Amino acid sequence: MGSIPSTPVKETPPLRHIWIITGPSGCGKSTIAQFIARELQLPYIEGDDYHSESNVQKMANGIPLTDDDRWSWLETLRNKAVEALTFGSDGCVVTCSALKRKYRDIIRLAGHAAPDVVVRFVYLQASQELLLQRVKARAGHFFKDNMVKGQFEILEEPDETEQDVLVVPVKHDLPIVKALALQKVELVMQESS
Ligand SMILES: Nc1ncnc2c1ncn2[C@@H]1O[C@H](COP(=O)(O)OP(=O)(O)OP(=O)(O)O)[C@@H](O)[C@H]1O
Ligand SMILES: O=C(O)[C@H](O)[C@@H](O)[C@H](O)[C@H](O)CO
């Protein structure tokens, strides 16, 4: 009796995630994004590095950005993320305030870059009072505490209809927030592998 030939198992390559770390100024985007990028060994793209000189000047002068100021910045961040994957990365971590849903929608288009690319947002959730304190205490940054209120005025918090968003409360001490964010990210990666 001949042995039954085994059906070859098709290996599906793991998905490549673009992690967008979001939230208003001072919520910890840079801190958490650098940590996650280091832990997952992924490239880190700092959103603030891609604001135009005039955007930075505006913010430094206490003038909030408008939608028009943000469109090309959002497109640039999306392109940078896709570029990182095109150059062979297994994923990447990007900081972007992404305060409005339509801004997140612009970034979401990166998910069409290739069938294995998935965009996920990590929303760092905090109260205005807490972020005011954290921005006040931070030195050497162009974004000052007088601008925090404006961030909350336009903030559209992701709701349950945005299923690609992981919410991480950031009122806890930093080691706890880091662990929580990483845990949520790793769970998604496990579920999608
Ligand atoms: N969980 C935390 N507990 C205490 N301090 C924190 C926590 N998370 C961040 N910080 C501090 O708060 C400040 C703001 O953090 P960070 O610069 O990472 O925020 P951000 O969202 O990137 O800000 P921005 O958008 O203005 O660049 C920093 O001084 C950081 O060390
Ligand atoms: O959309 C915006 O208004 C900006 O991206 C801001 O969020 C700042 O750049 C940032 O918070 C300072 O780091």
- Could you read off the pLDDT tens digit of each residue along the chain, which spans 193 residues? 556 667 666 677 789 999 999 999 999 999 999 999 999 999 999 999 999 999 999 999 999 999 999 999 999 999 999 999 999 899 999 999 999 999 999 999 999 999 999 999 999 999 999 999 999 998 888 887 888 999 999 999 999 999 999 999 999 999 999 999 999 999 999 998 7
Residue 4: its pLDDT value, please? 65
Q: Which of 59, 100, 146 to mutate to test the pocket of ligand 2 (most atoms within 8 A of CB)?
A: 59
Q: What value of ipTM does the predicted structure carry? A: 0.96
Domains observed in the chain: 16-191 (3.40.50.300)
pTM of the model: 0.94
Tell me how far the alpha carbon of residue 126 lies from the centroid of ligand 1, in angstroms: 11
Nearest to 19 by CA among 168, 174, 170: 168
Question: Which CB contacts under 8 angstroms, 24+ apart, belong to 12-16?
Answer: 13/116, 14/90, 14/116, 14/189, 14/192, 14/193, 15/116, 15/117, 15/118, 15/189, 15/192, 15/193, 16/85, 16/89, 16/90, 16/91, 16/114, 16/116, 16/117, 16/118
Residue nearest to atom 29 of ligand 1 (CA): 138
